Amino acid sequence: MKVRVLFVCLGNICRSPMAEAVMRHQVKQAGLGHLIEVDSAGTGDWHLGHPPHEGTRKLLDEHRISYEGMKARLVTKNDFHSFDYIVCMDSNNLRDVRKLIGKAEDARNVKLFTFMELLPEQGIADVPDPYYDGNFPFVYELVDKGCAQLLMRIRNDLKLSE
């Protein structure tokens, strides 16, 4: 049985695909690709079918992390039935996802939280959106640290040693 993780942001071109790519990379490095599957989605439909933002791609290229085949998509009601962890990049996305869950019939017990809950020491509630401020390096730092924390949480939930 695979554990499935979904990262959610607004347009699914900056933060959530960055988190998807970084988490996939960390999962692969840990040798857990057979146990953990990762995806991303957005709550807005402006960029459907587009690859990650140029700023995200540039940073992932610098860190030699693949984003091959990634295209923006919308989060759907079906995601609540197929993912074990849904990690929202900010509180607005969490609110929007909760609205969708409320409409999803028989939504199963998914672990739903904001990404920054993984990094309480940072003292910020939301991953800033680099689409607006261009600060992709800061977002990458948060994503890298947060994905490592999420991987530890999943290992603990699965009772796997490191």
In this structure, are residues 153 and 57 in contact, taking their beta carbons and an 8 Å threshold?
Answer: no
What order do you get walking across the sheet with 111-114 strand by strand?
A: 36-42, 3-9, 85-88, 111-114
- Is residue 95 part of the annotated active site? The answer reads no
Which one is catalytic: 39, 90, 96, 129?
129
- Is residue 15 part of the annotated active site? The answer reads yes
Q: d(Cα 100, Cα 150) in Å, to the nearest integer?
A: 23
- Is residue 129 part of the annotated active site? The answer reads yes
Structure tokens at 51: 């690859």
Q: Is 14 helix (H, G, I), strand (E, B) or coil?
A: coil
Structure tokens at 135: 């600060």
Which one is catalytic: 9, 14, 88, 147?
9
Catalytic residues: 9, 15, 129
